[in-house]
Chain A
Amino acid sequence: MTMRTPLKLVRGLGSAKEGADHFWMQRITGVSNLVLSLFAICLAVSLAGADHATMRAAFAHPLIALPILLFMISAAIHMRIGMQVIIEDYVHGEGLKIAALLLNTFFAIGVASVAALSILKLSFGG
């Protein structure tokens, strides 16, 4: 039986240099979400009940398509980090946790990709 603690293994190696990265990225995307989601809400309200031609015409303008594209990317990053914390809090089995974290990443990238492709298609008028 060893009396050594796992601390011995990491001592002297220095920090991983990303201790606050998770926290900080959540704050960065939090700020961008704050601005971009207000824009998205205004756009959604102004397009409520609009037909397809109006929707397409709106997204043909770069100053509408671009903020919404940024919003979806920012939201996807923010929600991935947030859900990661929830998973780490409640899923304790190591295998299940890794599976959930993988699915979380795939979900965030999937949603962002579908949205991005749709915005670009609308924007380029395809």
Chain B
Amino acid sequence: MADAKTERGAKAPRPLSPHLQVYRPLINMVMSILHRMTGAALYLGTLLVAWVLAAAASGPEYYAFVTGLLGSWPGKVVLFGYTWAIFHHMAGGVRHFIWDTGHGYDLETIDMLSWGTALISAVATLGLWAYILISG
């Protein structure tokens, strides 16, 4: 046995249970991971909101500088990503509210809710940006 060869008191390396890499990605699993990732992204995004608010409170020059940055193409890309993260986390949150009621745990509904999260977040993000770009 491998354990017998280790020094007294030293812990033998224990086998680990298989982790994410051994599973074929399933939609609810992908949505779960994305829910956490968008949550972490929104964590930093709140800093962005606070920064814009602080810029507005500090005066016209600095506010113009910050809105200029956000209105540039790299700024728009960040805001586009932020919008998607919000809508994705929002739709995922509603999915969790549904599960919190104790309903929707059969595989068919789980898949439907998970695809729904992906679909709603994409439609809401693209719709909002289409509106922003068209209305100028």
Contact = CB atoms under 8 A, between A and B. Distances in A.
Contacts, number: 83
Interface in B42-66: 42-43, 46-47, 49-50, 53-54, 56-57, 59-60, 63-64
A75 B46 contact: yes
A34 to B, nearest CB: 6
B56 A59 contact: yes
A95 to B, nearest CB: 20
Interface stretch (A1-9, A10-18, A115-123): A115-123
B100 interface: yes
Contacts of A51: 60, 64
B: contact size bracket: 20 to 34
A111 to B, nearest CB: 5
A83 B39 CA distance: 8
Nearest to B86: A37
The A interface is mostly helix, strand or loop, or mixed, namely: helix
A72 B49 contact: yes
B54 A114 contact: yes
Nearest to A75: B46
Contacts of B57: 117-119, 121-122, 126
Interface stretch (B20-28, B89-97, B102-110): B89-97
Interface residues of A, number: 36
A33 B87 CA distance: 12
B67 interface: yes
A83 B43 contact: yes
A48 B60 contact: no
B43 A34 contact: no
Given A30-B97, A86-B36, A118 B46 contact: no
Interface of B: 36, 39-40, 42-43, 46-47, 49-50, 53-54, 56-57, 59-60, 63-64, 67, 71, 83, 86, 90, 93-94, 96-97, 100, 128, 131-132, 136
